[in-house]
Structures are given as C-alpha cells and as structure tokens.
Amino acid sequence: MTSASPHKKSKALKPGSRRPAKELCSECGFCDTHYIHYVKEACAFLNQQVAELEEEAHGRSRNLDNSDDWYFGVNQDMMAARKKEPIEGAQWTGIVSTIACEMLNSGKVEGVVCVQNSEEDRFQPMPVIARTPEEVLAARVNKPTLSPNLSVLEQVEQSGMKRLLVIGVGCQIQALRAVEKKLGLEKLYVLGTPCVDNVTREGLQKFLETTSKSPETVVHYEFMQDFRVHFKHEDGSIEKVPFFGLNTKELKDIFAPSCMSCFDYVNSLADLVVGYMGAPLSYQWMVVRNDTGQEMLELVEDQLETQPVTSQGDRHKAVQQSIPAYEKGVTLPMWAARLMGVVIERIGPKGLEYARFSIDSHFTRNYLYVKRNYPEKLEAHVPEYAKQIVGQYELPE
Ligand SMILES: Cc1cc2nc3c(=O)[nH]c(=O)nc-3n(C[C@H](O)[C@H](O)[C@H](O)COP(=O)(O)OP(=O)(O)OC[C@H]3O[C@@H](n4cnc5c(N)ncnc54)[C@H](O)[C@@H]3O)c2cc1C
C-alpha cells in the first residue's frame, strides 16, 4: 500500500480520542489532528511503507546491493561536519538549528515545525511552529522523549502557510510524508535526525536516576561514538558512563514499545539527515537524500567545517556477542566496564562502521522484540533492508 489515498477515509475517528496503534503508538501527535482519518495508512506502526514513500520523496527506494544505501537509506552525499562557531546549548554544534534559522532568514519557508520545552521541565517537549530564528533557537537541544511534533499540523493549515520546514524523527516523518499532499503546501522541506531508544518522560527519569550521579542537573546527554554516555550538567561538567556499565536489567523496560519495534533509525524519508553516529567524535554526520536536502545544506555550507566520512573496523563479532549479553541483562562492574570501554574505543568500529554497529545491534534486538510480542506483524512490519541486516546474525528463538 502507498501513502494515504485522497479518497479513502478510515472510519470516523475523533481527533485526540484514540491511539489506533495502541501500545505501539509513538505519540507523534498525528492522532491529535483531524488527519487521524488517515492513520491506518499513515502510521509507521500500522502500515510500514518505507520503500513506497522513499520512491515518492526521493524518486527511488534504496538499492539493497549498495551497502551505503542498504544501511543509511537513499543518499546522494554524506559527510562529517561541524559548525565553525557552535551554537551554545545545542545538542551537538547546532547544525539543525542553523539550517532552520537560515531557511527562515532566506524566506524559503514561512515557518518551522520544531520542539521547544515546557517552562517547568527542560525535557518536556512542546511542539511549535517557529516563525522567527529566536523561536527556532529556543527549540535547540534534544528533548529525549516521545514528542507529539505533528500535533501542530492543523495549525499549519489554519495559518495559510504555503512553505514549511518540518524537523523530526523517523516515525513523525513517515506519517508526515504519507499526508504531505493533503497539507495544501507549495513546498515542504524535511530535516530529520536519526532516532533510537526513545522513552516517555517517566522512562527518561528512570534512566537519569539509574545512570547519572546527579540526575537533576543533567541538561543533555548522548550515547557517543566512544561507547560512553556523555551527560552534560548545568555547571558545564561532563560525566561519562561506559555503555557496558549500564544497568541493563533495570533499563530494559524503559524504552517505548514503538522504539523497540522501529526499523527507521536513519530517518529514511527526510530530505536531509543530521546525526552523529557515522562521524568521528566531535563531528556531526550529514546524509543528503535528494536535491531538496542539498538545497538546505548549501544554505549553511560556509558556516561548516567538513570532512569525508570514513569507516574502520569490523562490527560483526561485537554485534553477535552483544545479542546474548543483552538478553541476559549482563552488567559489568564499573571498573571492568571502564576498562572494556577503553579497549573497544581503541580497537572497535569507527565512523560508518560504528553507525552500522549501532544499527545492527538495535535491529537485531527489535526484530526479536517484534517476533516475540507481535508475531503476526513481523512479516509486513519489518522492511526488506532490515530483514537483510538481521539475516547476517544468529538469533535466539
Ligand atoms: C530522541 C533522539 C534520539 C537520537 N538518537 C540519535 C542516534 O542514536 N544517533 C545519531 O546519530 N543521532 C541521534 N539523534 C540526533 C542527534 O542527537 C542530534 O539531534 C543531531 O545531531 C542534531 O544536533 P544539532 O546540535 O544540530 O541539533 P540542535 O541544533 O540542538 O537542534 C535539535 C533539534 O531537534 C529537535 N528535537 C528535539 N527533540 C526532539 C524529539 N524528541 N523529536 C523530534 N525532534 C526533536 C528540535 O526541534 C531541534 O530543532 C537523536 C535525536 C533525538 C531527538
């Protein structure tokens, strides 16, 4: 099935009143709008249609014989980049916020869908349509929680805006692409980030309390390419906790079921993706999927320091070993975890190979999760590229 067809309406579903994907709902906000009529076709968890939507958005779907395509999605360029002058308080160097500001400054768009935080809680997402660079900058830094970004879609329609930039993660962008033609826009730009292991606000609290020494002062964190979680605190200090020291048993159930069933880590349907995992430490990773993505990149190129992507190491053994370790909830004592972190940082996968390591680890885990919890969904829900990735490993029943 392709994107929501114009004449096909599902049974009348009242906005805000239902979550048809039930526990698999990623709270992307789509069902808070009247577009909920299209949810059965549009929702990433009810109707997986990545290949069809890639075709519509990029003019082709990914070529499974080309290893970069297979892993990272349709792309025409890829690079490591960082801002020459980073934005203070951004998640990384602020490439996403910079692009969004320049899109407004240049008049290419009238508004930007992005997510600020509530006044009381820095991690509570508050989606907005920003119309000024100041409003975009107020949305910088990740809200590492499920976020209803698409809940503002109705406001876009009401505002009469014709040129729009949407910033979002994979599940949000899949639903957006499915109804793109119904939004009445002359031009839609989509700037995506990769996304994995998202949590509810309560889940985030448990993660912070279990893992950080000072959960209440964390301003942002990231699972970094050096196999450590870096927590940045209010006073600017950085706390590093090795992945292998995480309390897997305690943390196993915090990830949202939607994220445990997601196979769109790399945001396949965005025009341009900005993450970090395919780049060396301190750089961001940019994937240009089509000409619209290239147009956005060109707006900020003179503000970036770039270098080609590289790849080093072989992830396969580490991924295979991590599968039973995760299943058993193995947690190393902190001294051993730190030692392991140092060793793996030296000899482990780097650059694009680190990105493949992360994709493989998450896809094998998620495949087992769907197989065990939603066996009837497995065949249709897992895209071909993900089946091919998972097929490289021996999985337990
Ligand atoms: C939940 C989450 C998980 C991620 N996981 C990975 C990963 O595993 N690997 C990887 O390479 N990259 C990941 N990223 C992307 C990465 O962390 C950075 O967001 C990206 O590199 C951009 O950094 P920046 O400094 O340019 O962003 P900034 O300039 O700080 O801008 C961040 C933008 O993200 C948007 N945003 C914040 N929170 C959310 C949210 N919950 N949902 C949708 N949009 C949001 C804001 O609107 C803002 O515009 C993730 C991002 C998110 C939101």
Calculate mean pLDDT across residues 269-284: 97
Beta strands in the chain (DSSP E): 77-83, 111-117, 125-130, 163-168, 187-192, 218-223, 228-233, 238-242, 272-275, 284-288, 304-307, 311-312, 350-351
- pLDDT above 60 (res 10): no
Question: Is residue 93 lining ligand 1, measured as CB closer than 6 Å?
Answer: yes
Which residues sit opposite 128 in a β-bridge? 114
Nearest-atom index, ligand 1, CA of 92: 25
Give 100-123 pLDDT, tens digit per residue: 999 999 999 999 999 999 999 999
Q: Identify the residue with better confidence: 15 or 305.
A: 305
Whether residue 163 is predicted with pLDDT greater than 90 in this model: the reply is: yes
Return the pLDDT at 329. 78
> Which atom, in ligand 1's list, is nearest to the CA of 143?
38
- The whole-number pLDDT of residue 17 equals 56
Buried b (16+ CB within 10 A) or exposed e, 281-316: eebbbbbbbbebbeebbebbeebbeeeebebebebe
pLDDT tens, position by position, 317-342? 999 998 988 888 777 788 887 887 78
Q: How much is the pLDDT for 266? A: 98
Model's pTM, two decimal places?
0.94
- In short, whether 194's Cβ falls inside 6 Å of ligand 1 is yes
199 DSSP assignment: B
The closest alpha carbon to 79, from 285, 265, 290, belongs to 285
Q: Which of 41-55, 305-319, 335-349, 359-373 has the lowest mean pLDDT?
A: 335-349
The pLDDT tens digits of the residues spanning 164-210 come to 999 999 999 999 999 999 999 999 999 999 999 999 999 999 999 99
Q: How far is the CA of 64 from the centre of ligand 1 (A)?
A: 27
The amino acid occupying position 346 is R
Tell me: the pLDDT tens digits for 340-349? Answer: 778 888 888 9
Q: How far apart are CA 182 and CA 175, in angstroms?
A: 12
CB of residue 352 inside a 6 A radius of ligand 1: no
| Torsion angle of the four alpha carbons 80, 91, 142, 273, in this order, in degrees rounded to the nearest 10 | -20
User: Phi, psi (5° rounding) for residue 366?
Assistant: -70, -35
Give pLDDT, residue 244.
Answer: 82
- Does residue 51 surpass a pLDDT of 90? yes
Distance in Å, CA 275 to ligand 1 centroid: 7
CB 56 within 8 A of CB 36: no
Residue environment code for 101-116, b if the CB has 16+ CB neighbours within 10 A, otherwise e: bbbbeeeebbbbbbbb
| pLDDT interval class at 250 (50, 70, 90) | confident
